[in-house]
Amino acid sequence: MTRTPVAAHVAAASLDQTVGDWVGNVRRIRAAADEARRRGARLLVLPEMCIPGYSLGDRLVMRGTEDRSWAALRELLPASEGLVLAAGLPVRRRDALYDVVAVLADGRLVALVPKENLATGDVQYENRWFSGWPRGQVEDRATDLGTVPFGSVVLEADGLGRFGFEVCEDGWKGVRPGSSYALAGAHVVANPSASWFTIGKHRIRRQLVRQISREDHVVYLYTSLLGCDATRLVFDGSVFVAHDGDILAEGRRFLFTEEMELVDRVVDLAALERVRTEEGSWRQQVDALERGDLGPVPPVVSVAGDFRTSSAPTPAAPYWLPPAVETDPSLTWVAQSGLVRRPPAERDLPHLELELALALALREYTRKSRIPGYTVALSGGRDSAMCALLVARALHYDRPDLDGEALRAHVGDHLATVWLGTENSTAGTQAAARAFAKEIGARHVEADVQPAFSTTRAIAEQLIGRTLTWDDPSADLPLQNLQARVRAPIVWTVANVLGFVLLSTSNKSEAAVGYATMDGDTAGGLAPLADVPKSLVQLWVAWAADFHELRSLDAILTIPPSAELRPHDRSQTDEADLMAYDVLDQLLFHFVQLGQEPLELFRALWPQVRDRYAGEPRAFAKDIRRFVNMFCAAQWKRDRLAISFRVAAFDLDPKTGFRFPAVQEAFTEELKELDTFVDGLGGQRSVVS
């Protein structure tokens, strides 16, 4: 056995790859290898499936994807000169596909390490395409690049010692392959991932990386993709180097102007060897592995070449100093770049994360689809203002060299906002939309579409043989929808003439209950707010008004949310049509994410909302009934919504998220149970247990 080196120089990089961009993906991998070599690193870990792109979907079953991925791997052999380079691709074995890390070293393929635990559930469906590798199995695989081990192996190289790979989901499981590698002598464990963004997930990743490195006494290299490689999922580009519980290096996330983020460190392997030697429980676990109690002992594969470093690790901080305060260094670049008006405080980070994720998603979609700009139907309300501001922020992040009038001109070149009013629109929303568009620099146009509404209404009346009036309850909803639908072809035309993508402004709460007009306000090719609940929209817009010092948003925030589709004397607000948005959003979370039926919804939420309903349980039960019926009836609408981006803990996209029957009995018996329970409460107004 080769003696563990005192130190090793390791690196990990996130990459902004695109599905099927064979030339561009190879170019970015080569650039990462060149940069790692320039810094003196001897091991470079790249993200999961970085050769073809991760979000391939059914493109994976096309034989060309596998063949082109392997051809790209062959092209990358020279990029591993003086390096051990790990890059991901699909590999076929006995007509089954595996998600594999290919390990290259000094111009040779030395091992293929397949993923054991497939990410399946939620938005992930890896077992639709891949097979999971049996734990501990290893076999020889003959390839045109030589015969190499295929399976759960530990590698050993001069200057790096022993190291192993677990792929993305492997690191999130209680029984991890990396632990076996560590007990078999690996001091470095790498996790190439394609971990998509949700609000707050990065903090969990940081805790995971720190904990794994401490428990296994290893250097843990973690990296993920950056950007959107095929829409819907946003990759924030997390990258870490951790050492026995300490984060030594953490990369920047949400990069707009760079395609790669690489971090490297000279790590102290001798310190890991010492702590393992001193720890009795470590020796017990090694003995258990050798007895076979913990599964097969991973074989060690020797990698020829010299990967030693002459650099020494950075000394640890003096032991008497208190530990550093936990921060999020991955976002410090935002303040340092001058792209925001003040350094983000801790309270700003969730809102800033949301802004960066959606702005990056919008930018990635248009850049990779070669679309020059965006069109937003700007109503003067919060939803459309958030969409337009996200675009403006994306354009700013993409051109940090611009400010003032130059930035406003850049925004105007790529963002068109359109206000389309009827006799039911108010001067307040028109003025608010105009002022906001001016402040952010959008190219803004306005038109009165009342004549188009009146003409279309007259044609419809002629066809059905009767007059449609607001006094007729059966005509109320059709007249509202007609206004929204009259606007859609006009704003679509503006977008088409400009060659821009039209953004749908519907939010998650409205999508949940179908409070949106199909072929009206749902019109668009992208729906950036489809995973953002209305309660969060309201919080984010208020935050943005303060954080970005946008005074025009103040007027928008003072106007109660309203579709403005009824006459002025029939005062209309969204919450009067539905219910309080914060109640709706809690019902949505408990119904979808927690899987609670109507009576469970009441029991879980009544203590929180009791005062809101003046202690009257029947009123809350009525809103539960309304929510459940509307949610079940709206599935067909959700099936038709534009492409959206996942940013929250759960989403309603039926293609990747919550799948719900379009035809079903809408919880009739369950709602009867709720009514019976509430009726049994009688005059009781105490907390329901």
User: Residue 348, Cα to own-chain centre: how many angstroms?
Assistant: 19
Give the model's confidence band at 485: pLDDT under 50 very low, under 70 low, under 90 confident, else very high: very high
Q: What is the pLDDT of residue 65?
A: 96
What's the rounded Cα separation, in Å, for the pair 201 and 47? 17
Q: What percent of the chain has pLDDT over 70?
A: 98
3-state secondary structure 465-532: CCCCCCCCHHHHHHHHHHHHHHHHHHHHHHHHHHCCEEECCCCHHHHHHCCCCCCCCCCCCEECCCCC
Record the tokens describing residue 119, joined without a space.
Answer: 């990410």
- Residues 523 and 504 sit within 8 Å (Cβ to Cβ): yes
Calculate mean pLDDT across residues 605-619. Answer: 95
- 474: pLDDT strictly greater than 60: yes
Task: Measure the CA dihedral 35/168/247/338, to 10°.
Answer: 60
Superfamily, domain 340-574: HUPs (3.40.50.620)
- Residues 303 and 157 sit within 8 Å (Cβ to Cβ): yes
N-term to C-term CA, the chain: 63
Calculate mean pLDDT across residues 585-598. Answer: 95
Give per-residue pLDDT as tens, 195-229: 999 999 999 999 999 999 999 999 999 999 999 98
What's the rounded Cα separation, in Å, for the pair 45 and 272? 20
Give the model's confidence band at 689: pLDDT under 50 very low, under 70 low, under 90 confident, else very high: very low
- Coil, helix or strand at residue 600: helix
Give per-residue pLDDT as tens, 113-171: 999 999 988 888 899 999 999 999 999 999 999 999 999 999 999 999 999 999 999 99
Give the model's confidence band at 2: pLDDT under 50 very low, under 70 low, under 90 confident, else very high: low
- 323: pLDDT strictly greater than 80: no
3-state secondary structure 317-347: CCCCCCCCCCCCHHHHHHHHCCCCCCCCCHH
- 388: pLDDT strictly greater than 50: yes
- Coil, helix or strand at residue 180: helix
Closest CA to 245 of 209, 270, 221: 209
Residue range 7-329 in CATH 3.60.110.10: yes
With vertex at residue 61, the alpha carbon angle to CA 57 and CA 62, rounded to the nearest 5 degrees, is 105
Give per-residue pLDDT as tens, 38-66: 999 999 999 999 999 999 999 999 989 99
Residue spans of the domains in the chain: they are: 7-329, 340-574, 579-689
